Amino acid sequence: MSVTVVGSIAFDAVKTPFGTRERMLGGSAVHFALAASFFDAVHIVGPVGDDFGEPEYAVLHDRGVDTDAVEHVPGGKTFFWRGEYGWDLNNRETLDTQLNVFADFDPKLSDAARAADVLFLANIQPELQQRVRAECRDARFVALDSMNYWIESARDALIKTVSMVDCLMLNDAELRELTREPNLVRAARQIREWGPRVVVAKQGEYGAAMVTEEGFFALPAFPLETVVDPTGAGDCFAGGFVGYVAAHPDSELSHELLCRAMAYGTALASFSVEEFGTERVARLTTEEISERVSELQKLTQFAEKPIALKG
Amino acid sequence: MSVTVVGSIAFDAVKTPFGTRERMLGGSAVHFALAASFFDAVHIVGPVGDDFGEPEYAVLHDRGVDTDAVEHVPGGKTFFWRGEYGWDLNNRETLDTQLNVFADFDPKLSDAARAADVLFLANIQPELQQRVRAECRDARFVALDSMNYWIESARDALIKTVSMVDCLMLNDAELRELTREPNLVRAARQIREWGPRVVVAKQGEYGAAMVTEEGFFALPAFPLETVVDPTGAGDCFAGGFVGYVAAHPDSELSHELLCRAMAYGTALASFSVEEFGTERVARLTTEEISERVSELQKLTQFAEKPIALKG
């Protein structure tokens, strides 16, 4: 079986307190694809320009990602983003956005991409997400990301898109903004009433929370002494989470399985931020992932023990 | 054995999106004492004025709190705070602070308070905290809170106080400010180099994280559909955490025991925010606490299962 991701392919320029990169491979579809590639075959769908060359394809091919549905727009330039992070990495400022070929993106899926059983709709225009979702008729699990721009400029279309998927993954501030509900538990309930059975709130350095029919689950971010570049962490989280689901084609999507998916998403996101852009995930090993998930389990578990409380 | 808490006793006026209270019992020592009273005998040390009467004492006495070291300042008025919370409860604005009798607070411990084996130094002037700490010679576990005001106006004195205690509990932004280190893992390491073997970062709606010699541990806040008033949640967390330690006088303070203390702190904080001020914790039952800790365990645990990752 396989996963298809539709989203941006980009060059990023970033400055963090730990250094700068003037031009590094990025984009939500790229970060997702590399993370998900540890779990299943991945098809990436997105547009690139003439500046996207062999070195960039090589990063994807080295992880076995199928790039047949990467659309090369002749004469075009690849989406470019420049940003800078503040001292605690929690605030970032966008200094430049050049949509370039991404401005007229009209996803064209290959047969293989269309036949995937799992689909991740990264942050693109909601109507395009709807069309791709409809095209992937056989997808048994579809997860969706979006951003404040679409919540503010196309809320109705976005809510319609939300109603067509199984899982919504947003930053918690975006979940609040979309539902107009400040309480996360209530926001998740509203989302579930719109359609998705799974709601994931990405909480940056605080980790992630999930709500399913069976209830709530939360994990902290993996504690790291050095966070170099948060760019792409949310997409790597999605790649680990959705990838884990894709790796279990014959299992019921139980709450328990999705809790483990949260753990793998958390692990992949934690590696992503250790270095710039895709650098760390591109040379990650399966052993490192398994070890981190084990460590994460240890640092989130406590054993109950009876205690005589004073009434 | 018993716990002593030194800190503020107050009347609070709050406005939240869910209602208002013009005058409710509050103060860090009060919230802490009520929460800790479920675990051990509690002595509360703090000043009150003539406006502090039988109804207020009754709330403390009903939970068995020893008020012998509550100092009644004749002709004085009790510390008063007025604040308002924004729609998502994460931002609060202080509208009025009247220190009143708290301005000249000079802690006078009773013999029983001085003999306690566990001590919580709530947020007061760092030199006063040092003096109380030195007075409680037999305390086997001393935990400390503070706030940005002291970090900014008395950093050296505060660091000296920190060096005299076993456990520092601060909001994570305050930990960063105190250590001038944006990374929480590094900030905790700096604190531990100053003296405390346990560092707890309170993270509001995201829960709390802890660092000990044995490593990192984190728990999310308990998910609630209705959060009415966050005032005092951090002190209730401290009361649950420190109270749990106090309830184990003969146990080594292992990482495992402190992880359970985090769970009880999280549970107490979650009840505190369900209603205004001390209202919910004042009528809490031991069964409710135990049940919430069990629920918390369920919604933070995942079972590992081997998976064949793709290298």
- What does the mean pLDDT of chain A come to? 97
From A144's Cα to the closest Cα of chain B, the distance in A is 23
The helix (run of H) or strand (run of E) holding residue A142 is strand A141-144
Block means of pLDDT (10 residues each) for chain B, length 311 residues? 97 96 98 98 98 98 98 98 90 94 96 98 98 97 97 98 98 96 96 98 97 97 96 98 96 95 98 97 98 97 94 89
User: What Rg do the C-alpha atoms of chain A give, in angstroms?
Assistant: 19
* pLDDT at residue A310 is higher than 90: yes
Please answer yes or no on whether B303 and A205 come within 8 Å at the CB atom: no
| Triad A107, A264, B173: Cα angle to 5° | 100
pLDDT, residue A48, reads 98
- Find where tokens 């991404």 sit: A102
What does B48-75 look like in DSSP terms, one character per residue? E-TT--HHHHHHHHHTT-B-TTEEE-TT
pLDDT value, residue B57 = 98
State the pLDDT at residue A172: 95
Q: Which residue of A has its CA nearest to B224?
A: A185
pLDDT of residue A90: 79
Q: Is 0.90 topped by the overall pTM?
A: yes
Q: How confident is the model at residue A256 (pLDDT cuts 50, 70, 90)?
A: very high
Residue of B nearest to A212 (CA): B299
DSSP state, B26? E
DSSP one-letter code for B102: G
> What are the tens digits of pLDDT across the range A120-150?
999 999 999 999 999 999 999 999 999 999 9
Q: Using the predicted structure, report yes or no on whether residue A233 has a pLDDT greater than 90.
A: yes
- CB A176 to CB B220 under 8 A? no
Best residue in A227, A260, A284, A307 to probe B by mutation, most B CBs within 10 Å?
A: A307
pLDDT of residue A270: 98
- Torsion sign, CA atoms B45, B49, B52, B58: positive
The tokens describing B28, both together, are 């860090």
Residue A214 in this model has a pLDDT that exceeds 90: yes
Which among B37, B298, B299 is the nearest to A310, CB-wise?
Answer: B37
Task: State the Cα–Cα distance between residues B78 and B47, nearest whole angstrom.
Answer: 7
pLDDT per position as a tens digit, B41-89? 999 999 999 999 999 999 999 999 999 999 999 999 999 999 999 988 8
pLDDT at position B91, please? 85
Burial of residue A88, with CB atoms counted within 10 A of its CB: 0-12 exposed, 13-18 middle, 19 or more buried: middle
Q: How close does chain B come to A117, measured CA to CA in Å? A: 18
pLDDT for res B307: 94
pLDDT single digits (tens) A263-305:
999 999 999 999 999 999 999 999 999 999 999 999 999 999 9
H helix runs in B77-210, sequence order: 111-114, 126-135, 148-153, 155-163, 172-179, 184-194
Instruction: Give the pLDDT confidence score for residue A1 in this predicted structure.
Output: 87
The Cα angle at residue A275 between residues A272 and A278, in degrees rounded to 5: 55
- Please list every residue in chain B whose beta carbon sits closer than 8 Å to the beta carbon of residue A299: 215-218
**How many Cβ pairs within 8 Å bridge chains A and B?**
149
- Chain A closest-CA separation from residue B292 CA (Å): 12
Banded model confidence at residue A4, pLDDT cuts 50, 70, 90: very high
Mutation for testing the B interface, residue in A89, A211, A292, A310 having most B CBs under 10 Å = A310
Minimal Cβ distance to A300: which of B87, B218, B303: B218
Distance, CA of A90 to CA of A221 (rounded, Å): 13
pLDDT above 90: residue A251: no
Which token pair is A21?
A: 């990169």
Residues of chain B positioned with their CB less than 8 A from the CB of A307: 39, 244, 247
Q: Give the closest of A38, A223, A303 to B185, CB-based.
A: A223
